[in-house]
A and B are shown apart, each in its own frame.
Chain A
């Protein structure tokens, strides 16, 4: 059990680290597009490690505990995985929606070396 706790702590630590990087990116980067990069990518990895931690915990507890409500650990594991799939599907779409709305309202990308957006018409 001790080994498992260390593994879980490492996973949760990694998750927190990447989420924290997302926050730093949000504060450091110059404009809305670069900030979106930081928040979409880092939070995906952060939640991935958190989900892995929950799944490891669920599986280990399932094998360890022998009782009538053992099934609740299967529920925990499967639902954590489904939550991650939902994040994977909605995260890029949400980022894309924000970026598109920002561009259409006329927000210019700062420090840009190239901008080919205007060729639309």
Chain B
């Protein structure tokens, strides 16, 4: 039931975003949606939820879909921590493009995440942040293979993990597990 509701609301939100601005009126509120699109949105979202409920319910056994707080945290994470690191990454790579100072290497890290969703979030976050690119994912040993454009100094595994992904591992754990 919760899966059903989540899919329904998600589809509804996406459809309404795509048709925003279709209304005929003169003020902002009436301009947003026309009645036809509203009805179509509800019908299509219902249909999608009914058809895909079983499949998605089986595929996603994570807690994330079932807990709205985690979804909120995901949005918060995207627009604060992650955006900050994205800006930093871009300036960093811009600096390296101009000066040509690189020290590339491939390292392995062990983030200790259990769910697939957590690993996906971490891998994608790493790719878009300072000088790191996920090359491979070892599901059995729970390790990520990372190409690092400027290999830093580290003494043990923990420092290496910190140098590669900063606070991302903790955030991925908080969101997805």
A103 touches B136 (CB 8 A): yes
- A36: Cβ under 8 A from any B Cβ: yes
B106 touches A25 (CB 8 A): no
A74 cross-chain contacts in B, Cβ below 8 A = 20-21, 31-32
A37 cross-chain contacts in B, Cβ below 8 A = 93, 96, 131, 133, 147, 149
- B2: Cβ under 8 A from any A Cβ: no
A96 touches B107 (CB 8 A): no
A103 touches B131 (CB 8 A): no
Q: How far is the CA of A90 from the CA of B149 in the complex (A)?
A: 21
Among B90, B102, B105, point to the contact of A42 (Cβ < 8 A).
B90
- B115: Cβ under 8 A from any A Cβ: no
B94 touches A18 (CB 8 A): yes
Q: How far is the CA of A7 from the CA of B74 in the complex (A)?
A: 31
B18 cross-chain contacts in A, Cβ below 8 A = 78-79, 82
B32 cross-chain contacts in A, Cβ below 8 A = 71, 74
Q: What is the count of residue pairs linking A and B with beta-carbon distances less than 8 angstroms?
A: 142
- B55: Cβ under 8 A from any A Cβ: no
A33 cross-chain contacts in B, Cβ below 8 A = 104, 106, 133, 135, 147
- A61: Cβ under 8 A from any B Cβ: no
Residue of A nearest to B17 (CB): A78
Residue with the greatest number of chain B CB neighbours at <10 A, chosen from A30, A41, A93, A113: A41
- A119: Cβ under 8 A from any B Cβ: yes
Task: Write out, one digit per residue, whether chain A residues 96-109 have a CB within 8 A of any chain B CB (1) or not (0).
Answer: 10011001100001
Could you list 5 further interchain pairs (A-B, Cβ under 8 angstroms) beyond the known A33-B106, A37-B133, A95-B133? Answer: A79-B18, A92-B123, A112-B106, A114-B107, A119-B108
A-B contact pairs, 9 of them (CB 8 A): A25-B97, A30-B102, A68-B26, A74-B20, A88-B128, A92-B127, A96-B135, A117-B135, A120-B138
Residue numbers of B with Cβ under 8 A of A are 17-18, 20-24, 26, 31-32, 86-87, 89-90, 93-94, 96-98, 100, 102-108, 123-125, 127-128, 131, 133-136, 138, 145, 147, 149, 151
Residue numbers of A with Cβ under 8 A of B are 18, 21-22, 24-25, 28-31, 33-34, 36-38, 40-42, 44-45, 68, 70-75, 78-79, 82, 88-89, 91-93, 95-96, 99-100, 103-104, 109-117, 119-120
